[in-house]
Structure 1
Amino acid sequence: MGPVVSLWLGTRLPYERAVADALAWWGPAVAAVADDDRKGDGSGDGTSNTASDRFRVLGNSPTLALPTPPPDGAGPFFFAEDEDPAVGLILPPGLPAPAWGLLVGAHCSAPVDHLLLGHLALSLARRLGALVEFDGPLDGTGRGPAGPPPPPGVLYRVVEAADDGGGWYGHVGDAAFLAAWLRHPAFRLGA
């Protein structure tokens, strides 16, 4: 499994509508992957032709704005509903509690999957006015105080108490932060 982000929204959206709107927003740059083709490589038996929460990035579009064309073999990517995204998290002052979250993730964890997922999340964060929870720390440890260099935008540190009392933390940022982080040479999404 690869990286996953949660788009934090102030209002609840019907999941099916959110997925359909996202796929329509990106247009021909993405294509749904049939449920029987989980790897997204055409190896499924073709019996499912319904809309899917799994998709591939096929090209670019003005709404996606990739810096380079996506390589063959990246992904596939998926959506899932995050009904209570801040449950168990201690939110810092100034970070509003989200009402609902839309998870977007990659099935693989190659650098290109992190980069494409970052651009997918940025596109939707801008469209929906969402914050992005990076599913962990952006420094890759989850324990230390360090984090990514402070680019423009807003970045919050959220904390969750671990069962052993040691605590874990992650990051939540706005679209301006994510846009700058995508251009940073050390870019990688959380855990």
Structure 2
Amino acid sequence: MAGPSAVVLLPDVWTSQEEGEFRVWLAESFRPDGHDWWVLRDPRPLGLPEHLQTGPMLIEVGRHEADDAGEAAGLARAAGSVPGSEIVLAAAVNGTDDHRLLAEIAVAIARRYGGLIGLDGPLPVPTGSATAREIIRSLRGRWHEIPYRTAGGDVAVYHVVDAGLLSSWLRHPHFRMVK
């Protein structure tokens, strides 16, 4: 079963040297497991407990491309400019530890490289609880709602947050990442 996903949006287009340096940093905690797939090897450099049980994670660096003009404008307002690069994060498994690892690695990357985190949808909240907007307003950190046009032509939104807000969400009792 596929797990959660997110994307770290970076201000500049990365060079191959910057991507190589990122892979060296990533290898402190992960081991490569095929093209752009990584498996957690040592969670301690990320400040995580050793007993995490996680599956493989896609960690893919690329140039950022907004799907439509409205999305590009929303991202420019959120980040101060349209992001140049992105790091796509996608867990192959949908376990609790996979959600936690995905969020922790997104926070670590965003802090280290000055990025924002796209949640691939609104903040996920349980049915019957407060709305995503109510909960996100209660968390510490910055957030933005980014509109985009779906394949069917409807307008939907996803949240882009800073590392502080995602760290705050990690401590919330309803924590989950967008799946």
Common topology (TM > 0.5): yes
Q: Distance in 2 between matches of 1:117 and 1:163?
A: 26
Greater radius of gyration (CA): 1
User: In structure 1, how many angstroms separate the alpha carbons of the residues matched to 2:39 and 2:155?
Assistant: 35
Cα drift, residue 162 of structure 1: 2.6
Match of 1:183 among 166, 171, 174: 171
Q: Does 1:152 align with 2:140?
A: yes
Shift of 1:93: 7.5
The 1:105–1:92 alpha-carbon spacing in structure 2 relative to 1, beyond 3 Å, is closer
2:3: which partner in 1?
2
Q: Residues 102 and 173 (structure 1 numbering): CA distance in 2 closer, same or farther, change over 3 Å?
A: same
Letter in 1 for 2:57: F
Determine if contact 1:138/1:190 at 8 Å carries over to the other structure: yes
Give the length in aligned residue pairs: 167
The correspondence for 1:56, drawn from 27, 39, 45, is 39
Letter in 1 for 2:105: L
Cα separation, 1, equivalents of 2:151 and 2:164: 34
Secondary structure at 2:3 match in 1: coil
Which has the bigger relative contact order, CA under 8 A and spacing at least 6? Answer: 2
1:109 match: 94
Task: Report the Cα offset of residue 15 of structure 1.
Answer: 5.8
State how far apart, in whole Å, the 1-side matches of 2:164 and 2:23 are. Answer: 22
Structure 2 residue aligned with 1:69: 50
Question: Offset of 1:159 from its aligned partner?
Answer: 1.0
**Aligned twin of 1:42:** none
The 5 A counterparts of 1:68-147 are 68-72=49-53, 74-88=54-68, 89=71, 91=74, 94-96=77-79, 97-139=82-124, 146-147=131-132
* 8 A Cα contact 1:58 1:70, kept in partner: no
Alpha-carbon distance change, 112 to 82 in structure 1, aligned in 2, over 3 angstroms: same
What's the CA shift for 1:92? 6.7
Shift, 1:106, TM fit: 0.8
1:127 and 1:187 map into 2 onto residues whose CA distance is 23
The Cα shift of 1:169 comes to 1.1
The percentage of aligned residue pairs carrying the same residue is 25
Q: Shift of the alpha carbon at 1:164?
A: 3.8
Structure in which a larger fraction of residues adopt helix = 2
Structure 1: 4+ residue segments shifted above 4 A: none
1:30 and 2:30 matched: yes
Aligned pair in 2 of structure 1 residues 174, 55: CA closer, same or farther (>3 Å)?
Answer: same
Separation of aligned partners in 1, 2:104 and 2:143 = 17
Unaligned runs of 5+ in 2: none
